Chain A
Amino acid sequence: MGNLVEIDNLTFYRGERVIYDNISLTIEKGKTTAIMGPSGIGKTTLLRLIGGQLRPDSGDIRFKGESIPAMNRRTLFKARRQMSMLFQSGALFTDMTVFDNVAFPLREHTKLSEDLIRTMVLMKLQAVGLRGAADLMPSELSGGMARRAALARAISLDPDLIMYDEPFAGQDPISMGVLVKLIKGLNDALNLTSVVVTHDVTEVMTIADYIYILAEQRIIGEGTPEQIRQSESPLVQQFLQGQADGPVPFHFPAQSLENALLGGA
C-alpha cells in the first residue's frame, strides 16, 4: 500500500543531549504502527517532529512523500489538516463544551453550515459513545471520557494520519479496553493510518500491525507483534517483561556509591 510517513536518518538534539541518533522508520498506509519505549526516551518528541512542531537537526521526515522540515508555514499548515494528534492530556479546550470542541476544527477550516456541522459533530460523538455528553464542559468528564472526546475532535476533519500520544496512560482497565477497541475500530472504519505511542506492552500488542521499540536514542527492535515477542534481543525482552535492570540500566549514570559517600569529587 505504500508508506504514509517515512523517516530517514533522523538526528535530533535537545540542547547538548542526543534524543535521536540517526534513526529511520516508516509508517505504512492503512496500518496501525506502535512506537514503544520507556518514558522520557522521546516518543512525544517523535510525534512533534512528524507534525512539524520541531525540526530535526539532520535527516528527513516525509509525509505523503513531501519533506516536512522543508515546508514553509503555509504548506505545513495544509499538511497538518491531513493529520491529527491526540495529546497525552487530551488537550480539550477548557472554555468550550464538548460539542464546540469537536466542532472547532470544522468551524476553523470549513465553510459548512451550522446545521451540517451539528450533524457531523454528533456523528463523531456517536462514534466514540459520547453523544449524550455533547453539552458538558471538559472539566465534567472523567479521564477516559475526556480522551474519547479529544478523539472525536481529532477525527472531525477526517484526517489520513492520526497520532496517539500515550492513549492508555492513567486509564482504568475498562476505559483502556474501550480505547483499544476504538483505536482499532476507527482505523478500520475510517481507513486511517494510526501511530500509537505507548509503553503499555500488552494493549498495544493486540492492536498494532507493526511495532518499533525505542531505547538509547535508536530503534532496538522492530517487527510484527509476533516477531517482537520472539525477538532474541535482550534489550527487547527486558522491555517486554518489564525487568528493572538489564541492558537498560536501572541506575542513572553516576559516580560509584563509595566515591559519593566518601566525598570524592
Chain B
Amino acid sequence: MESLINLGSRTLGKASALGRAFLMLMGAIVARPQPLKNTPLVINQIYVVGVQSLLIILVSGLFIGMVMGLQGYTILVSYGAEGSLGPMVALSLLRELGPVVTALLFAGRAGSALTAEIGLMKATEQLSSLEMMAVDPLRRIVAPRFWAGMISMPLLAIIFSAVGILGGHLVGVDWLGVDSGTYWSVMQATVDFDKDIMNGVIKSILFAMVCTWIAIFKGYDAIPTSEGISKATTQTVVYSSLAVLGLDFVLTALMFGIE
C-alpha cells in the first residue's frame, strides 16, 4: 500500500514537472516574441553555448573519425572492400554519430552550464529581481538560451561529421593507404542528400530541442540552494543523455528502419 501511494505521488510529481516544463517553454518561445530585442541576446548566447563548445566538438569529431577509419579498414580489408571505407565513415557519422555524440557532448558541456547558470540566477534572486523590474525572465533569460541551443547544435553536429570524415581520411588514406580518389568518389556516390544528410540534420534539431529544453527547465525549476543546483545539473546530463539515446532509436527506426 505504502509503495503504491509512493508510486502514485511520484507519478503525479513527474506529470506536474512535465506540465511546468511545457508551460515554461510556451511562456518563453510562443507568447510574445520580440525578435528585435532578442536577436542580440541570442547571438550572445550562441557564442556562450555554441562557440565555446566548438573545441570539444572538433577534437572529439577528429578522434571518432580516426577510430572509425582504423576499425573500418581492418574489417573491410579482409573482404577486400577497403574502397568502401569512405561511405562507411560518412554514413555512420552523418546518420548516427554526428547528431548523437554532439548531443551527448553538448549536454555535458553546454547543458550543464546552462542549468547551473539559470539555477544560480534563481538562487541569487536575479530572476525574482527581473520580475520585480517588470521584465519577464522567461523572455529575457530563458528564450535566448533556448534559441541559441536550437541554432548551435545542428551546426555543431555538421561540423562534427565533417571533421570526422577528415579524420577517417587521415587514418584510412594517409596512413593505411586507401586510395584518396576512391575514398571521396564512392562516398559521393553513396551518400544521399535527403536520406542521409537531411535526416541527420532533423535528428540533431530534435536533439537540440530536447537537450536545451531539459537544461533550461532544470535550471529554472531548480531548488535554489547549492544542493538543489548540483542535483539539477546532474539531472540535466543524465536526462538529456537518456532522452537523446532513446529518441535516436525511435528516429532511426522511423527514418531508416522501415523501407
Chain A interface (Cβ < 8 Å from any Cβ of B)? 48, 51, 53, 77-78, 80-81, 83-85, 87-89, 91-94, 104-105, 108-109
14 contacts between A and B (CB under 8 A): A51-B131, A53-B131, A53-B132, A80-B131, A80-B133, A84-B132, A84-B133, A85-B132, A88-B125, A94-B121, A94-B124, A105-B135, A108-B133, A109-B133
A91–B120 alpha-carbon span in the complex (Å): 11
Report if B126 contacts A (CB, 8 A).
Answer: yes
Q: CB within 8 A of A91: which of B124, B134, B136?
A: B124
Q: CB within 8 A of A53: which of B120, B126, B128, B136?
A: B128
Closest chain A residue to B135 by CB distance? A108
A17–B125 alpha-carbon span in the complex (Å): 23
A77–B135 alpha-carbon span in the complex (Å): 8
Contact of B125 with A87 in the complex, beta carbons under 8 Å: yes
Contact of A105 with B133 in the complex, beta carbons under 8 Å: yes
Neighbouring A residues of B133 by C-beta, 8 Å:
80, 84, 104-105, 108-109
Contact of B124 with A83 in the complex, beta carbons under 8 Å: no
Contact of A83 with B125 in the complex, beta carbons under 8 Å: no
Q: Give the top 4 A-B pairs by smallest Cβ distance, nearest first.
A: A91-B129, A91-B125, A87-B125, A80-B134
Size of chain B's interface in residues, with CB distance under 8 A? Answer: 13
A109–B134 alpha-carbon span in the complex (Å): 9
Contact of B134 with A81 in the complex, beta carbons under 8 Å: yes
Chain B interface (Cβ < 8 Å from any Cβ of A)? 120-121, 124-126, 128-129, 131-136
A109–B140 alpha-carbon span in the complex (Å): 13
A89–B124 alpha-carbon span in the complex (Å): 6
A227–B39 alpha-carbon span in the complex (Å): 56
Closest chain B residue to A80 by CB distance? B134
Contact of B128 with A91 in the complex, beta carbons under 8 Å: yes
Contact of B134 with A77 in the complex, beta carbons under 8 Å: yes
Nearest Cβ in chain A — how far from B225, in angstroms?
13
Neighbouring B residues of A78 by C-beta, 8 Å:
134
A152–B124 alpha-carbon span in the complex (Å): 18
Contact of A87 with B129 in the complex, beta carbons under 8 Å: yes
Nearest Cβ in chain A — how far from B90, in angstroms?
40
Contact of B132 with A83 in the complex, beta carbons under 8 Å: yes
Nearest Cβ in chain B — how far from A252, in angstroms?
20
Neighbouring B residues of A84 by C-beta, 8 Å:
132-133
Nearest Cβ in chain A — how far from B153, in angstroms?
22
Neighbouring A residues of B136 by C-beta, 8 Å:
77
A214–B173 alpha-carbon span in the complex (Å): 79
Neighbouring B residues of A87 by C-beta, 8 Å:
125, 128-129
